[in-house]
Amino acid sequence: MFQQGAVTLLRVRGVPIRAHWTLLLILPYLALALSSQSSEVAELAGVPTAELRLPPIVWGALLAIGVFASVTVHELAHVRVAMRFGGRVRSITLMIVGGVSQLSRMPRVPSQEAIMAAVGPATSLALGGVLYLGFAASRGAPVDLQLGLFYLASINLMLGLFNLVPAFPMDGGRVLRALLAGRLGRERGTRIAARVGTMFAILFGLVGLWSQNLMLLLVAWFIYGGAQAEIVQEGMHNALHGLRMIDLLPRLRTAMPVIASDQPLSSVLRRMRELERLDLIVLDPLGAPLAVIQASDLDAFSPRSLSTITAGELAHRLPIRHAIVRLDTTANEATEGAAEMDAEYFVVVDPRADEVLALVAASDLAKAVVLRKLASRIPLETAAHAAS
Distance separating alpha carbons of residues 6 and 23, to the nearest angstrom: 9
Based on the domain organization, do 253 and 209 belong to the same domain? no
Based on the domain organization, do 266 and 350 belong to the same domain? yes
Q: What is the mean pLDDT of the chain?
A: 81
Based on the domain organization, do 222 and 276 belong to the same domain? no
Listed in sequence order, the residues at least 6 apart from 360 whose beta carbon sits closer than 8 Å to its beta carbon are 245, 248, 252, 345, 346, 347, 348
Flag whether 231 is in a domain. yes
Flag whether 384 is in a domain. no
Flag whether 301 is in a domain. yes
Q: What's the pLDDT score for residue 321? A: 86
Based on the domain organization, do 204 and 232 belong to the same domain? yes
* Residue ending a domain, choose from 196, 222, 239: 239
Positions of E strands within the chain: 6-12, 15-20, 88-95, 98-105, 258-260, 279-283, 289-294, 322-326, 345-350, 355-361
Based on the domain organization, do 18 and 137 belong to the same domain? yes
Mean pLDDT of 288-310: 89
Based on the domain organization, do 40 and 105 belong to the same domain? yes
Name the domain count of the chain: 2
Q: What's the pLDDT score for residue 383? A: 43
Q: Which of 40, 75, 113, 274 is catalytic?
A: 75
Best mean pLDDT range from 200-204, 224-228, 384-388 = 200-204
Listed in sequence order, the residues at least 6 apart from 303 whose beta carbon sits closer than 8 Å to its beta carbon are none
Based on the domain organization, do 233 and 321 belong to the same domain? no
Summarize pLDDT for 133-170 with one digit per residue, the tens: 998 888 778 888 888 888 899 889 988 998 898 887 78
Q: Which of 29-33, 120-124, 274-278 has the lowest mean pLDDT?
A: 29-33
Mean pLDDT of 257-285: 91
Based on the domain organization, do 300 and 209 belong to the same domain? no
Annotation marks residue 75 as catalytic: yes
Q: What's the pLDDT score for residue 380? A: 47
Based on the domain organization, do 139 and 273 belong to the same domain? no
Query: How many other CB atoms are found less than 10 A from the CB of residue 148?
Result: 22
Looking from the CA of 335 toward its CB, the CA atoms found within 13 Å total: 23
Distance separating alpha carbons of residues 74 and 68, to the nearest angstrom: 10
Distance separating alpha carbons of residues 80 and 119, to the nearest angstrom: 10
Distance separating alpha carbons of residues 126 and 81, to the nearest angstrom: 16
Q: What's the pLDDT score for residue 270? A: 92
Flag whether 381 is in a domain. no
* Residue ending a domain, choose from 207, 239, 271: 239
Based on the domain organization, do 162 and 257 belong to the same domain? no
CA-CA distances (angstroms) from residue 13 to 16, 85, 234? 8, 16, 28
Q: Is the pLDDT of residue 377 over 70?
A: no
Contact 287, 356 (CB under 8 A): yes
Based on the domain organization, do 80 and 13 belong to the same domain? yes
Q: Which residue has better confidence, 237 or 305?
A: 305
Distance separating alpha carbons of residues 164 and 162, to the nearest angstrom: 5
Q: With left for phi above 0 and alpha for psi between -120 and 50, is residue 307 left, alpha or beta? A: alpha
Confidence of residue 385 (pLDDT cuts 50, 70, 90): very low
Look at residues 163, 153, 120, 203 and name the one whose alpha carbon lies nearest to residue 47: 153
Give the structural domain span for 137: 6-239
Q: What's the pLDDT score for residue 191? A: 87
Based on the domain organization, do 287 and 200 belong to the same domain? no
Flag whether 283 is in a domain. yes
How far separated are the first and last CA of the chain, in Å rounded? 48
Q: What's the pLDDT score for residue 387? A: 43
